[in-house]
Amino acid sequence: MTTDVTIIGAGLGGLTLARVLHLHGIPATVYEAEVSPMARAQGGMLDIHEDSGQPALRAAGLMNEFRGLILEGRQAIRVLDLAGTVLLDAADDGTGGNPEVLRGELRQMLLDSLPAGTVRWGHKASGTRALGAGRHEVTFADGTTVTTGLLVGADGAWSRVRPLLSPATPEYIGMSYVETSLFDADTRHPDSAKAVGSGSLFTLAPGKGFLAHRERAGTLHAYVMLARPRDWFANIDFTDSAAATARITREFDGWAPELTALIADGDTAPVLRPLYALPIEHRWEREPGVTLLGDAAHLSLPNGEGANLAMYDGAELGEALAAHPEDIEAALTAYEQAMFPRSAAAAAEGVQVHEMFYGAGAPHSLITMMAGHEQTP
Is 230 among the annotated ligand-binding positions? Answer: no
123 versus 304: which is more confidently predicted?
A: 123
Q: Taking residues 215-223, what's their average pLDDT?
A: 93
Q: Return phi, psi of residue 12, to 5°.
A: -65, -40
3-state secondary structure the chain: CCCCEEEECCCHHHHHHHHHHHHCCCCCEEECCCCCCCCCCCCCEEECCCCCHHHHHHHCCCHHHHHCCCCCCCCCEEEECCCCCEEEEECCCCCCCCCEEEHHHHHHHHHHCCCCCCEECCCCEEEEEEEECCEEEEEECCCCEEEECEEEECCCCCCCCHHHCCCCCCEEEEEEEEEEEECCHHHHCHHHHHHHCCCEEEEEECCEEEEEEECHHHCEEEEEEECCCHHHHHCCCCCCHHHHHHHHHHCCCCCCHHHHHHHHCCCCCCEEEEEEECCCCCCCCCCCCEEECCHHHHCCCCCCCHHHHHHHHHHHHHHHHHHCCCCHHHHHHHHHHHHHHHHHHHHHHHHHHHHHHHCCCCCHHHHHHHHHHHHCC
pLDDT in tens, 41-88: 777 889 999 999 999 999 999 999 999 999 888 889 999 999 999 999
pLDDT in tens, 253-299: 999 999 999 999 999 999 999 999 999 999 999 999 999 999 999 99
Report the alpha-carbon distance of residue 5 to residue 150 in Å, rounded.
5
The answer for residues whose C-beta is within 8 angstroms of residue 21's C-beta and 6 or more apart is 5, 27, 28, 318, 321, 322
| pTM, entire model | 0.93
Is 231 among the annotated ligand-binding positions? Answer: no
* The predicted structure's pLDDT at residue 90: 87
The answer for residues whose C-beta is within 8 angstroms of residue 141's C-beta and 6 or more apart is 33, 124, 125, 126
pLDDT in tens, 114-167: 999 999 999 999 999 999 999 999 999 999 999 999 999 999 999 999 999 999
Q: Taking residues 224-242, what's their average pLDDT?
A: 96
Least reliable range by pLDDT among 96-100, 168-172, 193-197, 245-249: 96-100
Range 194-206 burial, b when 16+ CB lie within 10 A, else e? ebbbbbbbbbbbe
* The predicted structure's pLDDT at residue 373: 54
* The predicted structure's pLDDT at residue 376: 37
* The predicted structure's pLDDT at residue 293: 98
How many other CB atoms are there within 10 angstroms of residue 47's CB atom?
Answer: 21
* The predicted structure's pLDDT at residue 377: 34
Least reliable range by pLDDT among 95-99, 131-135, 153-157, 239-243: 95-99
State the angle between helix axes of 12-23 and 103-112 in degrees (0 to 180), rounded to the nearest 10: 30
* The predicted structure's pLDDT at residue 306: 87
Is residue 218 scored above 60 in pLDDT? yes
pLDDT in tens, 331-374: 999 999 999 999 999 999 888 888 888 888 878 888 887 766 54
The answer for residues whose C-beta is within 8 angstroms of residue 375's C-beta and 6 or more apart is none
* The predicted structure's pLDDT at residue 5: 96
* The predicted structure's pLDDT at residue 367: 82
| Total count of residues recorded for the chain | 377
* The predicted structure's pLDDT at residue 353: 84
Strand partners, 7: 30, 152
Q: Taking residues 183-209, what's their average pLDDT?
A: 95
Is 92 among the annotated ligand-binding positions? Answer: no
Q: Taking residues 217-230, what's their average pLDDT?
A: 95
Q: Taking residues 96-121, what's their average pLDDT?
A: 94
Is 4 among the annotated ligand-binding positions? Answer: no
* The predicted structure's pLDDT at residue 304: 78
Decide the pairing of beta strands 5-8 and 29-31.
parallel
Decide the pairing of beta strands 100-102 and 145-148.
unpaired
* The predicted structure's pLDDT at residue 363: 82
